[in-house]
Amino acid sequence: MATIKEVAKAAGVSVATVSRVMNQNGYVHEDTRRKVEDAIRELNYTPNEVARSLYKRKSKLIGLLLPDITNPYFPQLARGVEDRLQEQDFRLIFGNSDESRQKETDYLQTFLQNNVVGVISSTNAPDHDMYTGLGIPVVFLDRTLNDNPAVYADGREGGRQAATELVKRGSTNITIIQGPADVRPAMDRFHGAVEALESSGTSYEVLKTTSFSFTEAEGWAKELFRRYPDSDGIIASNDIVASAVLQEAVGLGRRVPQDVQIIGFDDIPLSRLLIPSLSTIHQPAYEMGREAADLIIRLIEGQYIESRHIQYAVEFIERQTTRKVES
């Protein structure tokens, strides 16, 4: 394999000049540049990936920031992102932000230091400096703000659907479990549900929660039935929380869905394996991940982009924790 020295010799210039051409750094006469580029081609000189990333100022690395890969919704997103990137030989640097501004900033900095050419982020702070000043393409995934490039599902409509389906199936005393206040999609769903319940005149309670953690969900499920024992319909903040509510309801001897209906959000793979299986609002997580990867690739490559702002529809999945509609 050719070395930079051989390239310099063939072009009749110094190694420093070859390096300047490769780095696009400092003045090089147009003729000299052409000679160097010809020599690179002739000798089939391929610097390693890092040198090449200096040369082209482009790596094939994309940074992906997700809140927490152990929340079963995110592996689907991540898998979609990775599958699409892999098809185009892009690679993923991955970090969990834990919804912490500090961790997010730290990760973005090291992403840049590692010369990522684009970032996909599920952030709650899309308008923060750390994104606006990043200088490389960013796609927000599962989050959105103004007309920044983003791929997300219609959470508000999801919340409306969840409420509407419970009301349609006879719940008259609903409890909404409100997800973390700083997680935008959680708040979208919550507002959607409130909107639908208000407009149908259904009475409801709200239980505020601060995370989607498995362990905490069990505590909230207990609190829910202690504070609102008459609930006959529960709109959970996601499927994990719905599973905990379902388990608590069964443990208390409530019949699901006869005494209390439960509806989740996300449609994670395990929701259909629960007994009774969980009715929920489906988000096409894998497809959203793929689409975000596709969008970042097109942004990086400067391709024509019809829409930088891709909203996915959500869908009610009827399983066994909701009653059948009377026909």
**Residues near a second copy (CB under 8 A):** 5, 14-16, 19, 26, 48-51, 53-54, 59-61, 68-70, 72, 74-76, 78-79, 82-83, 86, 89, 91-96, 103, 110-111, 113-115, 214, 240, 243-244, 246-247, 250, 269-270, 272-275, 277
Question: How many Å from the N-terminal Cα to the C-terminal Cα in the chain?
Answer: 74
User: Are 205 and 235 in contact, with CB atoms under 8 Å apart?
Assistant: no
Strands 279-282 and 261-266: parallel
Cα distance between residue 260 and residue 249, in whole Å: 8
The residue written with tokens 């529809």 in the block is 313
- What would the two tokens of residue 17 be? 């000049």
Strands 203-208 and 261-266: unpaired
Burial class (CB in 10 A: 0-12, 13-18, 19+), 226: exposed
User: Are 98 and 157 in contact, with CB atoms under 8 Å apart?
Assistant: no
How far from chain centre, in Å, is Cα 198?
Answer: 30
What does each C-alpha distance from 188 to 59, 117, 170 come to in angstroms? 36, 31, 24
What is the sign, positive or negative, of the torsion defined by CA atoms of 143, 287, 103, 117?
A: negative
Q: Name residue 279's amino acid.
A: S
